[in-house]
Amino acid sequence: MSQWSPRARRVGGDSQSHMQAGKKHVEAGRFEDALSEFEQELAENPNSAAAHMAIGNVYFKQEHYDDSLMQYQNAMDINGNIAAPLVMSGNVYFQTDDLDKALSEYEEALEIDPNLESANLQAGRIYVKRELFDEAEKCFRNTLKSNPQMTAARLLLASLYLKQDKNQDAIDELESAVSSKPDLWITHAQLGRIYIKQKEFLFVNTIFLPRVCILLCKGLINKIITNK
């Protein structure tokens, strides 16, 4: 892992403005400017775990994974009671297909906060890959306990049930996802596929196809409005 050292920085400003300015640069995709602001914050406050996290997140977006891991470790060294550095370290390992290390980081994060949505979601994905379905279901359920509107968790849970031929459980989750986000295509597509597979054509004709037609009309209307 390469040695990290801060770049040259401008002088002046205050801690809060550096963090705020850095976040605005990130939102605009100006990563080098963001790093300069976060590093200035770190120069003025060397014990800022938030600044290390912010720098690490920029490196993560840039796919400079060794540098991002170093920053997350620095954040954990400053404050070992926060889960965010563990989750982001897990995300680095997930991106680089080191699933053993990724799962270890997520599980450690969940020891700090058992209801942490991001850690539960990512750990659940790894459990699915390993066919540890009970563990995966627990993670997705914990995610929904914290955020019942998280469609990604419901879709993953539905997919998990389909792998186990629990079609009705999958349908229930997909219908909940439709109730939460009626315009999301993937939920309708998955429901239609299940019902077609089950040869329940009455549902396909009376519910699924009308829903698809409504979505098509909405998309066409939005396109017309946008092009005016």
pLDDT, tens only, 45-104: 999 999 999 999 999 999 999 999 999 999 999 999 999 999 999 999 999 999 999 999
65 within some domain: no
CA–CA separation, 68 vs 89, rounded Å? Answer: 8
Helices 65-78 and 49-61 cross at an angle (nearest 10°) of 160
Q: pTM (2 decimals)?
A: 0.77
Backbone angles phi, psi at 63, to 5 degrees: 65, 30
| Residue 186 pLDDT grade (very low, low, confident, very high; cuts 50, 70, 90) | confident
183 within some domain: yes
Cβ atoms within 10 A of the Cβ of 227, count? 6
Overall number of domains in the chain: 1
157 within some domain: no
| Cα 48–Cα 53–Cα 57 angle in degrees, nearest 5 | 150
CA–CA separation, 43 vs 60, rounded Å? Answer: 21
77 within some domain: no
Residues in the chain: 228
138 within some domain: no
pLDDT at 7 over 60: no
64 within some domain: no
Where in the sequence is the domain holding 199, given as residue range(s)?
165-228
Average pLDDT, the chain: 83
| Residue 212 pLDDT grade (very low, low, confident, very high; cuts 50, 70, 90) | low
153 within some domain: no
12 within some domain: no
User: Which residues, other chains included, contact 145 with Cβ-Cβ below 8 Å and sequence gap of 6+?
Assistant: 115
